[in-house]
Structure 1
Amino acid sequence: MSKRHLYLLALAIIAAAVSAMYYKWKVLEFPVQPDAQVQVWTVQAHVEYQPRKGANTVTLQLPADTPGWTVLEERFVARNYSKLEEKGDSGREVQWAIRRAVGEQDLYYRATIVRAEQREPAALAIEPEIAPPAELDEPYATAAQTLLDQVRERSSNTVTFSRELLRRLNQSDRSEEVQLLAEKYGEDDVARSEFIVQLLASRNIPARVVYGIRLAEGEANADANLEARMQTWLIVHDGLAWTMLDPRTNAEGTPSDLFLWSTSGKPLLTIDGNPPTALMFTVKGNLADAMATAERRLEVQDANLVRYSLLSLPLQAQETYRVLLMVPIGAFIMLLLRNLVGVKTYGTFMPVLIALAFRETALVAGVVLFVLVVGFGLLVRFYLERLRLLLVPRLTAILILVVLLMAAVSVLSNRLGIEVGLSVALFPMVIMAMTIERMSVAWDERGAGTALREGVGTLVVAALAYIVMSWPPLEHLVFVYPEVLLVLFALALLLGRYSGYRLNELLRFRALAREPDPIVPPPEKPAPEAKA
């Protein structure tokens, strides 16, 4: 297989892995840092009313289409009431019903929301309808027609017509027509917005009153609930899409901090019999774990994205994979140190296994325990060499002694109150026995210096692998973005064809790289004189 094929394969794997990571970071909003937090809001609607005798039905409009926001969780609190949720084309609502109620009644709806990344303005999925025009008596009818005619002369389309109408209604020096109409709709925000919709309907302009709450960023650190004001907004259809207008400032566009509560066009709260009612809204902002929030957001948007991922595993299995996914990281570090630096170790993956044991014993204590076990095992191995045992019985005897030594260290540590000594049993016993055997063979065949150098190299690789594998940000990154391992896989393929010099070889043979000194020819001897 040619190198070009290998390079193209590695490049394709890296591109696919980086693309998947970018999608999870930007679109799915998975956090990169383990302690990352996001801002969430808890919005609560509190219904308080005096019930009438007999049955009572309470209808509250709920958030349905919330561009720019995602509702993570909803809770309903209504004691002894039945709850019925209905969702239609125009919106969503909940109906609470009770056969008999006595005394003041309190009903609650609570929603936890978070910002959703918006790549482009979201279009409201509402069919345009023209509201019933306002039925006005004189002189209100004449004033309304005069005002609308004046607005038409200063507008060019539906949106500019609506904004000009709002400007005239909001200006401080009102005209006589506006002052007269103000007596009709009064100062109530809802009544005023509905009257504007009726005026627009008289000119065949589809418009609707929607409700929303503005959530300020500063409320994220609030310790108590803050009273929130539910405001009315206008949406006007220009034949292609809906345009949001602020009836108080005639500004166009949807504010970034506006949470649309209801776009159904219906009153927020209706109760049979119209008893004395109070509808109050409170908002509390706080910080939540970014990973848990992203997981919950995916469950709301598309549950399959979570079901077929590591996040769907039980917590115990997730903790296991947090460790297993770090093993390739340690193996890649060993690959770099052996193939590029030239560090000698015992075995291929034995340093990685020792690094896993260091995660429980800590680095310094783990190195001390490793040296004790291997040192004692070497002494026993040299003694067994004199008995001329075969390979398998000798390894079995060493394994038995290693286990006994580990047990003795644990008992002694327990008596001395050293808890770290109890973790010695986490060392892979078979690997330890094989290390003792290979170290003793290297001692006999290549000398004590070579055996000690390879033993030190094993500890160095294990220590570096432990430091990297126990770094919490990297552990979180690999668990959330396992595509990182595909990048390491591609790099391992590229390093698999490397056959150049290693770093330690460059240091060993650096004398050969020097330019040789120029060879100076010896001086010529003068020719002997001829005898006469």
Structure 2
Amino acid sequence: MSRLPFYLIVGLLLVAGVAMSIHRHVQFEVPWTPGEQRQVWEIEAQVNFIADGGPAKVNLALPSTQQGYRILTEHTASPGYGLAFLEENGGRRAEWTTRQATGDQQLYYSVQALVAPSSRQPLIEPPPLRRDIVWESPYDTAARQVIERAWSRSADPFSFARELITDFTEARQGENARLLLTQFDRSPLLVRLLNQAGVPAREVSGLLLEHGRRRQSLTPWIQVFDDPEWMLFDPRTGERGRPDNLLLWESAGHAVLEVEGGSNSRVGFSMLSRNQPAAAAVRSELADDTLLNFSIHSLPLEDQALFQTILLIPIGALMVVILRVLVGIKTSGTFMPVLIALAFIQTTLITGLIGFLLVVAVGLVIRNYLSYLNLLLVARVTAVIITVIAIISVFSVLSYRFGLNAGLTITFFPMIILSWTIERMSILWEEEGPKQVLIQGGGSLLTAVLAYLAMNNPLIRHLTFNFLGIQLILMALILLLGNYTGYRLLELRRFKPVTED
């Protein structure tokens, strides 16, 4: 029978698992290792205005995920105000409203922004060109000559914007530029000239991030479009590109702050930088649950903690398959060591080993007495289960009385599994003797310890929880091991006489 379909399935599982993991790392910046640190900026915007005594409405532009930064969390403090987050003309805004406000008012908005250098530049629709640009004399002549001069030295919209802005710097400022600057502000003037030349552009507002700064204001930037790309320009110097410490706060070309029912409005910014584990930064990121971003992080924290343990079971199962199929270790029950290893994670290894040996040893003694009663199987196993519960209860009380709080964790052992383990070992003792009990019991304990070491490894815990594609890779490896038909390592002892000869 052809094995091609089998190897195709294994190959698809491997490719799908690796692709999902790489996509999650690249697209959502989930780290490969648990100790990585990421820089997070905590920014607070404080809105101040003097209310007129009647209804008030405050509209503030908000940042969104963009090239270089990803918004994690945002909070507001506005007692007595209603609050709504709005999506308007491609930008996010916060709107505070109240029926009555008098005197000085303060509203707060805080945001956490994760530094994400690999995040891509978002696609933005270019603004419509203004067709109603009218200049009064003599500014019309000056504007036309400035445009013609920059146009002759350019080859595309971006180079034209660079040359035009450079002509307004002090080093190259001519008479026409000086004349226009006496009547118009620099940034709106540059946008107006770019639009007149047929180049889509708009003025946006950005925040230059510096650790520990307070009462900072936004700076204007020129966003120039050459469909489908766009580029930022500094209107003061003509430098092209986004500085690494620039966070675009308002990128739709609208006012940053609008206040109705108040006067003397202003907004100031304070900022702090700190490092935090990359895994925590990813968990605090706003959920974006698409098919490709399918993750456990979208579940409640209680369920996340549960799945963090469940997703380790395939690692323990892989260890069992390797030790049984390749090494040839015998265990009491196929996957009983995995459940014991899970208990070790809760109890710690030394406490778990001592508790496991005590429970099984006492359980075997009591089970040996039950064998003389000639009970039916179901009744006998039920009696063993009750016995195990009683043993665990007694050990827990005694350990607590002696001040050994670690002994209380013995309750994490799977009682039904322990009962069946005692039952199997007792039958094995009666049928094949104590040697086989020691072989299978020791093999089970060794497998459980090795599975515990693998499952409790911080790197493995991190990978299995954050990359669900790992489960497909484990499935492919187990399928490949299931096809192994060669000698086990422990079986090679049979050939020892041949090597001696």
Q: TM-score, normalised by structure 1?
A: 0.81
Q: Which amino acid aligns with 1:451?
A: V
Q: Which amino acid aligns with 1:234?
A: I
1:83 positional shift: 4.8
Output one character per residue of 1:404-448: Cα deviation in whole Å (capped at 9) or x when no partner.
433332332232222233333443344334433433443444343
- Checking the alignment, whether the CA contact within 8 Å between 2:392 and 2:410 is kept in structure 1 is yes
- Checking the alignment, whether the CA contact within 8 Å between 1:62 and 1:262 is kept in structure 2 is yes
1:253 positional shift: 3.0
User: In 2, Cα distance between the equivalents of 1:505 and 1:471?
Assistant: 30
1:342 positional shift: 1.6
- Checking the alignment, whether the CA contact within 8 Å between 1:70 and 1:113 is kept in structure 2 is yes
The residue that corresponds to 1:463 in the other structure is 449
Match of 2:232 among 244, 250, 253: 244
Matched, 1:265 2:222: no
Structure 1 residues 65 and 198 mapped into 2: Cα distance closer, same or farther (>3 Å)? farther
User: In 2, Cα distance between the equivalents of 1:440 and 1:54?
Assistant: 85
User: In 1, Cα distance between the equivalents of 2:52 and 2:44?
Assistant: 25
1:333 positional shift: 1.0
The residue that corresponds to 2:479 in the other structure is 493
Q: What secondary structure, in the 3-state scheme, does the structure 1 residue paired with 2:223 have?
A: strand
CA RMSD, 1 decimal: 3.5
Q: Which amino acid aligns with 1:366?
A: G
The residue that corresponds to 1:60 in the other structure is 60
The residue that corresponds to 1:231 in the other structure is 219
Structure 1 residues 107 and 340 mapped into 2: Cα distance closer, same or farther (>3 Å)? same
User: In 2, Cα distance between the equivalents of 1:309 and 1:240?
Assistant: 32
Structure 1 residues 395 and 242 mapped into 2: Cα distance closer, same or farther (>3 Å)? closer
Structure 1 residues 215 and 500 mapped into 2: Cα distance closer, same or farther (>3 Å)? same
User: In 2, Cα distance between the equivalents of 1:311 and 1:174?
Assistant: 55
User: In 2, Cα distance between the equivalents of 1:292 and 1:305?
Assistant: 20
User: In 2, Cα distance between the equivalents of 1:352 and 1:439?
Assistant: 18
Output one character per residue of 1:112-147: Cα deviation in whole Å (capped at 9) or x when no partner.
333457565433213331265463444x55554444
Q: Which amino acid aligns with 1:431?
A: I
Q: Which amino acid aligns with 2:205?
A: Y
User: In 2, Cα distance between the equivalents of 1:240 and 1:390?
Assistant: 78
Q: TM-score, normalised by structure 2?
A: 0.85
The residue that corresponds to 1:102 in the other structure is 102
Q: Which amino acid aligns with 1:39?
A: Q
Q: What secondary structure, in the 3-state scheme, does the structure 1 residue paired with 2:102 have?
A: coil
Structure 1 residues 179 and 452 mapped into 2: Cα distance closer, same or farther (>3 Å)? same
Mark the runs of 5 or more structure 1 residues left unpaired by the alignment.
186-190, 517-532
The residue that corresponds to 1:215 in the other structure is 209
Match of 2:335 among 330, 349, 352: 349
User: In 1, Cα distance between the equivalents of 2:365 and 2:95?
Assistant: 81
Mark the runs of 5 or more structure 2 residues left unpaired by the alignment.
none
Structure 1 residues 132 and 296 mapped into 2: Cα distance closer, same or farther (>3 Å)? farther
1:475-490 matches, cutoff 5 A: 475-490=461-476
- Checking the alignment, whether the CA contact within 8 Å between 1:399 and 1:433 is kept in structure 2 is yes
Output one character per residue of 1:462-500: Cα deviation in whole Å (capped at 9) or x when no partner.
211222223343223223323323222222222222221
Q: Which amino acid aligns with 1:375?
A: A
What is the aligned length?
501
The residue that corresponds to 2:169 in the other structure is 170
User: In 2, Cα distance between the equivalents of 1:376 and 1:64?
Assistant: 63
Q: Which amino acid aligns with 1:17?
A: G
Matched, 1:366 2:352: yes
1:341 positional shift: 1.1
Match of 2:187 among 185, 193, 196: 193
1:288 positional shift: 4.6
1:52 positional shift: 4.3
Q: What secondary structure, in the 3-state scheme, does the structure 1 residue paired with 2:168 have?
A: helix
- Checking the alignment, whether the CA contact within 8 Å between 1:65 and 1:124 is kept in structure 2 is no
- Checking the alignment, whether the CA contact within 8 Å between 2:213 and 2:271 is kept in structure 1 is yes
User: In 2, Cα distance between the equivalents of 1:281 and 1:65?
Assistant: 18
The residue that corresponds to 1:22 in the other structure is 22
User: In 2, Cα distance between the equivalents of 1:198 and 1:2?
Assistant: 71
Percent identical pairs in the alignment equals 37
User: In 2, Cα distance between the equivalents of 1:198 and 1:466?
Assistant: 68
1:40-55 matches, cutoff 5 A: 40-52=40-52
- Checking the alignment, whether the CA contact within 8 Å between 2:221 and 2:232 is kept in structure 1 is yes
Q: Which amino acid aligns with 1:207?
A: A
Q: Which amino acid aligns with 1:245?
A: F
Structure 1 residues 122 and 239 mapped into 2: Cα distance closer, same or farther (>3 Å)? closer
- Checking the alignment, whether the CA contact within 8 Å between 1:65 and 1:263 is kept in structure 2 is no
User: In 1, Cα distance between the equivalents of 2:348 and 2:279?
Assistant: 28
User: In 2, Cα distance between the equivalents of 1:384 and 1:243?
Assistant: 82
User: In 2, Cα distance between the equivalents of 1:512 and 1:273?
Assistant: 99
Matched, 1:319 2:305: yes
User: In 2, Cα distance between the equivalents of 1:172 and 1:487?
Assistant: 61
Structure 1 residues 67 and 130 mapped into 2: Cα distance closer, same or farther (>3 Å)? farther
- Checking the alignment, whether the CA contact within 8 Å between 1:133 and 1:199 is kept in structure 2 is no
- Checking the alignment, whether the CA contact within 8 Å between 1:132 and 1:201 is kept in structure 2 is no
The residue that corresponds to 2:153 in the other structure is 154
Output one character per residue of 1:312-355: Cα deviation in whole Å (capped at 9) or x when no partner.
44433332332232223222212211221121222212222222
Q: Which amino acid aligns with 1:248?
A: R
- Checking the alignment, whether the CA contact within 8 Å between 2:127 and 2:202 is kept in structure 1 is no
The residue that corresponds to 2:127 in the other structure is 127
User: In 1, Cα distance between the equivalents of 2:201 and 2:382?
Assistant: 86
Q: Which amino acid aligns with 1:456?
A: G
User: In 2, Cα distance between the equivalents of 1:375 and 1:240?
Assistant: 74
Greater shift, 6-15 or 314-323, is seen at 314-323
1:391-430 matches, cutoff 5 A: 395=381, 398-430=384-416
Match of 2:272 among 247, 260, 284: 284
- Checking the alignment, whether the CA contact within 8 Å between 1:298 and 1:305 is kept in structure 2 is no
Greater shift, 345-354 or 370-379, is seen at 370-379
Q: Which amino acid aligns with 2:41?
A: W
User: In 1, Cα distance between the equivalents of 2:101 and 2:393?
Assistant: 71
Greater shift, 148-157 or 363-372, is seen at 148-157
Q: What secondary structure, in the 3-state scheme, does the structure 2 residue paired with 1:46 have?
A: strand
- Checking the alignment, whether the CA contact within 8 Å between 2:86 and 2:93 is kept in structure 1 is yes
User: In 1, Cα distance between the equivalents of 2:143 and 2:455?
Assistant: 74
Structure 1 residues 317 and 444 mapped into 2: Cα distance closer, same or farther (>3 Å)? same
The residue that corresponds to 2:316 in the other structure is 330
Output one character per residue of 1:40-89: Cα deviation in whole Å (capped at 9) or x when no partner.
32333323233446555544334468444433344444444455655433
Q: Which amino acid aligns with 2:201?
A: A
Q: Which amino acid aligns with 2:159?
A: T
Structure 1 residues 284 and 497 mapped into 2: Cα distance closer, same or farther (>3 Å)? same
